Structure 1
């Protein structure tokens, strides 16, 4: 796949704060029952963690990511740092504990159902704000175009959750709520696994003549335009509209549905890290100034190439 690197601006620095760990992936013919003893059909060890995965994706796509996370000075911790560095992720802002353990996850991949079961062991001691001096934090953020938080560092996650939390009854209403509560963000995206994603983009220049539409009904109309047998990712969008969510409010915006590639079960290998790869591809697309339609299709294509 072409990286379209020529379209990237000079500033391609992204900073990610969150989880980085090691994944132990065992593929089995069928998921075991209690007290079963089975053998794996394949086994591999690779880097994991939401922030680690997403930033690795951005590095492979041509960006310059920096990661803020924590590992221990153990065998796994050193391997985590090494793998990130080899892929081009700047680990100079990682906190390294002299004692304790680095985070890791056991992942059981069922080759029959194509599902994966994750058993995560957090690192110890957990990361605290004091682990990264303020001067280092300012340096890490210096010149960054985007800051990505995966919610795994609890102090930061609590702040983000408090600001973004909604009590909306549907996903589409929640997107409207988030745009209203966070006036500086340009768009919000929610991923839907094999069903693709939904994106709501704020429109700065409101058209006084724009029609007011109930957001749930608009989403239903866009869903009807989807082709269930899609073989390549596509994007379906609405016109600029005053989208209304009952009990929440109205925002001038445009609604998008991004479809995922329809991969036959016989061709699907593993979906581990797919969501993180989607985020990494979106970060790249933002830096490359992609239009929303191209961004969603590009991110879905990156994900499908990893699952095959």
Structure 2
């Protein structure tokens, strides 16, 4: 992303991220191995990772002032993570550092042939609990924050932080990668949600992603928008609008609305584009309706020779959403 494509901020907003951090051991291989096979790496890297670690790093690079709350150990991976985050401009003073145990880490197999990545995650020990974050520390971490981000891990601690953010009227963004314990409670407090491609239909049992988005917005009336990432196909966003019953608003089936948007996509354009519907009463039969605007966003067309792997791509997307939410 070039600096010219980033909208300037009138100030430097503070954001807070709570959730997973870790060290990623990335092994690049020519093809994904079959069971019991032995193959060699073509490249090997060790770098910081975790949903929240990646997202806060992206936010810092876009010009925000992120603070991160998570738990690591005093082992070498933990120290490495802290140093890397600090070098990126992420405030690590609210990290809980255990004098014993192990920091989280992941083995990641990057398939050069298909450009996919397979993650094998090992949680840190001991896990974070609400008692690890005294009230005074929590209040200090949230002081001046514009948005608080959660990747929905460590549910008990996440809920304590979210409830305090809610009390202080700080906006909350949830990264709903997959159904997790306590996610419903977090979504009930949220202003924004970013979902992985498979989450909405699996969670709502709706027959399509647009119908699932309507269901999510109806279930959680505080939500201002819900976004679904679609990998190389882009993303879909449903933004809720004020339903002014005194004015006539066109009604449209939400699936048909998305179909009409995708038909206007120009495949000859390499850069990302955003196609939006007018404010419409979007109907999902058997579920309900939402007054809002549906968006379809495309991705940049990157030549295969320039594509390295997709590790952290979704987290970078969410970091950009955080940047945008700070301007709302």
TM-score (norm 1): 0.88
How many angstroms apart in 2 are the aligned matches of 1:6 and 1:230? Answer: 21
Per-residue deviation, 1:5:
7.2
Per-residue deviation, 1:58:
0.5
Higher relative CO (CA 8 A, sep ≥ 6), structure 1 or 2?
1
The residue number in structure 2 matching 1:282 is: 321
Partner SS, residue 305 of structure 2: coil
How many residues get paired?
Answer: 289
Structure 2: gaps (5+ residues): 159-179, 189-202
Per-residue deviation, 1:6:
7.4
Structure 1: gaps (5+ residues): 290-308
Residue 219 of structure 1 pairs with residue 258 of structure 2: yes
Residue 119 of structure 1 pairs with residue 108 of structure 2: no
Residue 59 of structure 1 pairs with residue 60 of structure 2: yes
How many angstroms apart in 2 are the aligned matches of 1:229 and 1:31? Answer: 32
The residue number in structure 1 matching 2:177 is: none
Correspondent of 1:189 among 199, 203, 227: 227
Q: State the Cα deviation string for residues 223-249 of structure 1 (Å, max 9, x = none).
A: 222234541100111011011112221
Partner SS, residue 145 of structure 1: strand
Contact 2:12 2:63 in 1 (8 A): no
The residue number in structure 1 matching 2:200 is: none
Correspondent of 1:159 among 160, 178, 182: 182
The residue number in structure 2 matching 1:293 is: none
Which range moved further: 35-44 or 164-173?
A: 164-173
**5 Å matches for 1:1-308?**
1-2=2-3, 7-10=8-11, 12-155=13-156, 156=158, 158-162=181-185, 163=187, 166-204=204-242, 206=244, 208-289=247-328
Please give the root-mean-square deviation of Cα atoms over the aligned residues, in Å: 1.8
Per-residue deviation, 1:3:
6.2
Query: CA distance change for structure 1 residues 6 and 266 in 2, over 3 Å: closer, same or farther?
Result: closer
TM-score (norm 2): 0.83
Per-residue deviation, 1:179:
1.9
